[in-house]
Structure 1
Amino acid sequence: METLFSIGEMAKISQLSIQRLRYYDKIGLLVPAFTDPASGYRYYKTAQEEQLNLIQALQYMGFSLQELKQYLDKNTSESLPDLLIKYQQKLIDEEARIARKKWLINRYQGLLKREPAKKELLTSARLLLTEPLLTPVHADILNDPVFHQEVQKTVSRLGLSKSYLQFPGYFILGGQAYLFVELDNSIGAPGERHLASSERQAFVTPQNWQTPAENENYLLQETVAWIGQELVRGYSYETNLTFE
């Protein structure tokens, strides 16, 4: 006769709680091999230990209980290798999200530490997604809803997350205005340019910003600064642009 484990023994072997095993039974994920009709005690076969190990491994990987039940009930056309490939892609996507979060943290830290009234030579490279700017350039363009709609459409069309709506701006190069969204190293996009260096002018607000001369190449970007214990949104104005 095949050896059966009580629910307590199975809980000890799997290092799961009895309540968790009862829940798995309730949703049909891991049904005991035998349930005593008189006492209601649940008993498991040896083979179910391996099945439980698989469930725990897949759950740790990120699969939902519903996905696991569909697979174990064979209510899905996907095989286990197919599921693992899908999970691997989830990890790749998650790594990109984590890289983006780290980039944003570093970006904000750099902005908040700098002195708003001081010019800085920027030598760190950035990736810029460039598109011809459709919104007419004016002194308060970065507060213009039409400009932000243009940014949102570009980000959405490229399938980028909403985090790429941070720090939008435009640059003038050779008399042509371009929209850009600041990228990080976790992603590439069509039309990106490599900004090798530039000079950041003193932090300015929409009230004191003036559009430069028509023949001047420059970059204007939404930014933040920590001024007098207050977080102030304004513009970063950069000149001496060098692109690769």
Structure 2
Amino acid sequence: MYRLPPQANRQGTFRLQLFTAPGLRPVAIATQKPGTGEGASLTNAAETYAATVWQQHFPDDPEPPIWLAHMIIDDMRDLTMVTFTVDPAKHTLREPQWRQISPTSVDALVGGPVDLERGSGFTPPEIEPDPEPTYVARWVMMLPRPAPFRKNGCMAAGVPWWRRLGRQLVPRRGGRDCCWYHGGDWHTVSNLAIRLAAQAKASGVSFEDTPPYVLDHPDSQGLTEWEREALLSLMVDTIRPYAPWPRREGYNNGQHRAQALLDAGVRRILIEHLAE
């Protein structure tokens, strides 16, 4: 079992298999079962996981090992090859790109059969007291850089500073038919979520009871179907950035919505924040 070192500043475990041969680029296969106490997923922490393995196991190599991410969720297997933009001098990675790869292709890549199970020896990390979650409003312009992994044409990774500023000056309202994330008016949904969450907090409503408070509030009853789904997503499937832009830590959750919010020029958005 591989566990991120303390200096990574986040928790994460997975099974790590390394395949090496003289003159060939190493292959690293990371296998993880999200939701079983393994910490950050192979998707949300792709750059950190791959860069840490590169730094620890192949520090003299000019590029990281070929990185294969294998997530096991119930009976579903998601096996992908992940490529990155590489900074050889700093041994850091960014802009991950995913593409599906078959088990047969994995066997061919390493020159033999590969066991793609999670393996034994997994020891969950020691349980630490959970930080108290709370809803807070954040400036959308300062959200970290999204790296959407769905391949919609409207989800081009990243939003440069001039585009962030331009959308704030000339915001987009309404929806588009390219995908769900761009499908409605995030301005309306965001303003309502921020106002009602603040109202709930002032009334002494707990974090856990805030979603039904917001969704059952009379002001939420006139929303369109898309707006209600979007409001539900902000309250339950919360946006959770690691650090503000321009730092590159990314998201624990919500980067596709963050991309849509930046594209629309929304001023502020409700996120989940963990109090220290």
User: Please, what TM-score do these two structures have when normalized by structure 1?
Assistant: 0.21
- The structure with the largest helix share of the pair is 1
Structure of higher CA gyration radius: 1
